[in-house]
């Protein structure tokens, strides 16, 4: 803490899938893809039920991923994890869940404005696709790719979202 109170972040929060670490960025991207898949495959009857399905699924995925990391560490280190290591695993990777918030807000807002549930989910899937494209574009910028390579990077990332939109269209 600073002498005058808690220290402030060095930079303001960003509306972006890219985060401070490689692992948190990957978790955010993975979370958007998983949440889009749950929305695309959902047969729920309300936006609240779809939101619950997405969040419960992501928390289960997060828990499974954290558990797998702890088990893998024990296997490879040949010892029990310390409480500090357990605490670290249980306090990281939440980007998998939090990255899905914007698409869920879009879906809920569209639904509350009178759009049918399928159309509201489609709006959320478009939001997810845009987020993935932006992550691909950012990866290209950070990776010092040429303009054409950045477009390809964004297209590949966005393709995951387009597959979910196609899945939603085919299932319903």
pTM here? Answer: 0.82
- What is the per-residue pLDDT across 100-136, written as a single tens digit (0 to 9) for each? 999 999 999 999 999 999 999 999 999 999 999 999 8
- What is the per-residue pLDDT across 81-97, written as a single tens digit (0 to 9) for each? 899 999 998 999 999 99
- What is the per-residue pLDDT across 148-172, written as a single tens digit (0 to 9) for each? 999 999 999 999 999 999 988 888 7
Which of 98, 95, 91, 101 has its CA nearest to residue 26? 95
Is residue 97 within 8 Å of 47, Cβ to Cβ? no
Which of 113, 121, 117 has its CA nearest to residue 35? 121
Question: How is the chain split into domains, by residue range?
Answer: 22-171
Is residue 114 within 8 Å of 131, Cβ to Cβ? no
Both tokens of 110, joined, read: 């569209």
Is residue 164 within 8 Å of 128, Cβ to Cβ? yes
């Amino acid at each position: 803490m600073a002498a005058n109170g808690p220290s402030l972040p060095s930079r303001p929060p960003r509306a972006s899938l890219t985060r401070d670490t490689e692992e948190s960025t990957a978790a955010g991207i993975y979370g958007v893809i998983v949440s889009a898949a749950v929305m695309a495959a959902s047969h729920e009857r309300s936006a609240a039920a779809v939101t619950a399905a997405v969040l419960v699924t992501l928390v289960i995925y997060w828990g499974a991923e954290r558990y797998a990391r702890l088990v893998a560490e024990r296997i490879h280190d040949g010892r029990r994890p310390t409480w500090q290591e357990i605490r670290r695993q249980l306090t990281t990777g939440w980007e998998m869940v939090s990255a899905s918030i914007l698409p869920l807000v879009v879906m809920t807002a569209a639904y509350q404005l009178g759009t049918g549930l399928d159309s509201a989910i489609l709006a959320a899937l478009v939001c997810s696709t845009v987020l993935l494209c932006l992550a691909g574009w950012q990866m290209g910028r950070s990776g010092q790719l040429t303009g054409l390579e950045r477009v390809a990077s964004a297209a590949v990332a966005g393709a995951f979202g387009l597959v979910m939109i196609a899945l939603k269209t085919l299932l319903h």
